Amino acid sequence: MPTTYGHFRLPPQLCRFRALHPKVEVELNITNRNVDLVAEGFDLAIRMGQLPDSGLVARKIEDGAMCLVAAPDYVARRGTPQSIADLDRHDCVPFVMPSTGRFAPWMFHDNGQDLDWAPSSGGLQVSDDVLGVVSMAEQGAGICQTYDFVVERSIRQGRLIELLPQLNGRTRSISIV
Which residue has better confidence, 45 or 75? 75
Q: CA-CA distance, 35 to 165, in Å (whole number)?
A: 34
**Domains in the chain, start-ordered, CATH in brackets?**
3-62 (no CATH), 64-172 (3.40.190.10)
Angstrom CA distances, 52 to 46, 124, 128, stand at 13, 29, 20
Q: Is 131 in contact with 6 (CB distance < 8 Å)?
A: no
Query: Which has the closest alpha carbon to 24: 32, 33, 15?
Result: 15
Q: CA-CA distance, 90 to 141, in Å (whole number)?
A: 10
For residue 71, the model assigns a pLDDT of 98
For residue 123, the model assigns a pLDDT of 77
Q: CA-CA distance, 162 to 177, in Å (whole number)?
A: 32
Of the listed ranges 54-58, 129-133, 138-142, 163-167, the least confidently predicted one is: 54-58
Note the pLDDT tens digit of each residue in 38-51: 899 899 889 888 88
pTM: 0.86
Please provide residue 14's backbone torsions phi and psi, each rounded to the nearest 5 degrees.
-65, -40
Q: CA-CA distance, 174 to 51, in Å (whole number)?
A: 9
Q: Is the pLDDT of residue 31 over 90?
A: no
